[in-house]
Chains A and B, each alone.
Chain A
Amino acid sequence: MSSRFSVSTLALALAVVAFAGCDREERHSRSKPLGETVPAGESPDTILPGGSQPPAPDPRAKLYDNNAPAIAEGQFLYTRMNCVGCHAHGGGGMGPPLMDDEWRYGGRIDQIAATIAEGRPNGMPAWRGKLTDDQIWKLAAYVRTLSGQPSKDSVSSRSESMSATTPQTLTPREPVHNSDTAER
């Protein structure tokens, strides 16, 4: 009767909740497909002459953006590959801050991955050939958490370092200004 109805609704609700988190937790440990590359990221402010269409967003972005294991691995790589030495925990130092709303070379995950892979003038090192593309995508996924972009259920709630910035589950989401002004 009504109890049977509520039991089946409850079961349905649980099933929905259980399956909703699947994407978030999917691991791609074989880093397939092996032939993947990091795209040469085009700047969002580029003039597209003659009315040409902007390219479609990269399909691989979905695999890493908002993906919890990728963000966790990216967090490990961010410290060990010395990103923290130039960018601190988002505040910047030798390198520009990553937690604010200014992105010189674009703030989408594929643009960040391109920046990491190719390097940039004014001092960003080029990591293509030193990190695998899978590792670069994971780093890009983590970098986006510094400005609060990914959903809050895929980020780490604990920082591995001395308590500095707000926990990632509370980081406010910064608007991403796609500004291409290379200021230096």
Chain B
Amino acid sequence: MKQARPATLLLPLLLSSCDYQSYQSTFSDAATEVRNFNILFVVFLVICAFMYVLVIAFLVATIARRRRAHANVVEAGKHHESDPLMRTGLIAWGALVATGLIGLAIASFFTDRSMASAAAHEKLSLTVTANQWWWDVQYNASDVSKTLRTANELHLPVGVPVRITLRSNDVIHSFWVPSLAGKQDLIPGRENDITIVPKKVGVYRGQCAEFCGTQHAHMALVVNVDSYGDFLKWWQQQLRPAFAPATPLAQAGYNYVTTGPCAACHNIAGTPASATVGPDLTHLASRRSIAAGTMPMSSGNLYGWVEDPQSIKPGSRMPTIGLEPKQLHAVVAYLETLK
């Protein structure tokens, strides 16, 4: 094991360098949980590969022995137990297997323990509620007037253990950000949780990992891991209510959004639109994607999404309203001010 240790530490790094990308990869080392998983993976791989090679070697040896003449003869009266070589061999094999299994068990135990200890010292608490087919994200704070509600995109501070409480409003979903942690289901009627300690600043992609309906494939989320200072700045910025519309076109968009069908489902803080059915739009324009990772955020995509969501994400709850072109220009102009 002593020689194996530098190798086991090196292998995860080797593995991660194998990938062409690290923003959605189980072999990345962006968080403590994933690093632990990767070390465990390597330990299992090495031990099991070793055993596999041994078994194959014995199999090959047995097949090769057949070529000799007297391999088939079974000598009468001779039993395997009385063959000292066989007995030593079996005992050695048993000891080898036992050692291997104990090694696996110890590695697994230590991995679990490190995950649990992270969970016991959480410093930040989030609640993620999965809906068909988007993520409702709420940041909890002991001062309730600082709680924050957003959708489909998380910001996490690097190095800080964060505990995410997972709930679902309809069917079973699964929270999976491969670069940061393993999968954890969101089950209606139950609260699960997952603890993540991000270690590397960056942007990571996650997605729903439990089939949840027509648009399960379009239920992704983005996790930004920021430095602690940047994270606090982001939280402050998110607490601010939406900017008032500055141009007449944006004002027309504001009027439509707050009095028309948009306000029946969406919340824009600081405006009369206070509904909770759909994602919170207060800072929509500061996000990287639209409709839970379905499309990247851009002006053209916003136009397409607002005008006809059913052709992009058919079956999703956002209806195709059929806006007039002028209304569409106004609405998108207003939405783009929601930074």
- Give the B-binding residues of A (Cβ under 8 A): 27, 29-31, 34-35, 73, 76, 80-81, 129-132, 134-135, 160
Supplied contacts A80-B277, A130-B264, 15 more A-B pairs, CB within 8 Å? A27-B314, A27-B315, A29-B314, A30-B314, A30-B320, A34-B320, A34-B322, A130-B261, A130-B263, A131-B261, A131-B264, A132-B320, A132-B322, A134-B320, A160-B170
26 A–B pairs (Cβ distance < 8 Å), ordered by A:
A27-B314, A29-B310, A29-B314, A29-B315, A30-B310, A31-B310, A31-B320, A34-B320, A34-B322, A35-B322, A76-B317, A80-B265, A80-B277, A129-B261, A130-B260, A130-B263, A131-B261, A131-B264, A131-B319, A132-B261, A132-B319, A132-B321, A132-B322, A134-B319, A134-B320, A135-B319
State the main secondary structure of chain A at its contact with B: loop
Interface residues in B250-278 by Cβ distance below 8 A to A read 260-261, 263-265, 277
**How distant is B266 from chain A, measured CB to nearest CB, in Å?**
12
Taking a contact as CB atoms under 8 Å apart, the answer to whether B260 and A129 are in contact is yes
Contact bitstring B161-204, A, C-beta under 8 A = 1, else 0: 00000000010000000000000000000000000000000000
**Which residues from B are CB-within-8-Å of A132?**
261, 319-322
Q: Which residue of A lies closest to B308 (CB)?
A: A30
- Give A129 to B259 CA distance when docked, in angstroms: 9
**How distant is A182 from chain B, measured CB to nearest CB, in Å?**
27
**How distant is B46 from chain A, measured CB to nearest CB, in Å?**
48
Contact bitstring B298-315, A, C-beta under 8 A = 1, else 0: 000000000000110011
**Which residues from A are CB-within-8-Å of B311?**
30
- Give A30 to B319 CA distance when docked, in angstroms: 9
**Which residues from A are CB-within-8-Å of B320?**
30-31, 34, 132, 134
**Which residues from B are CB-within-8-Å of A135?**
319
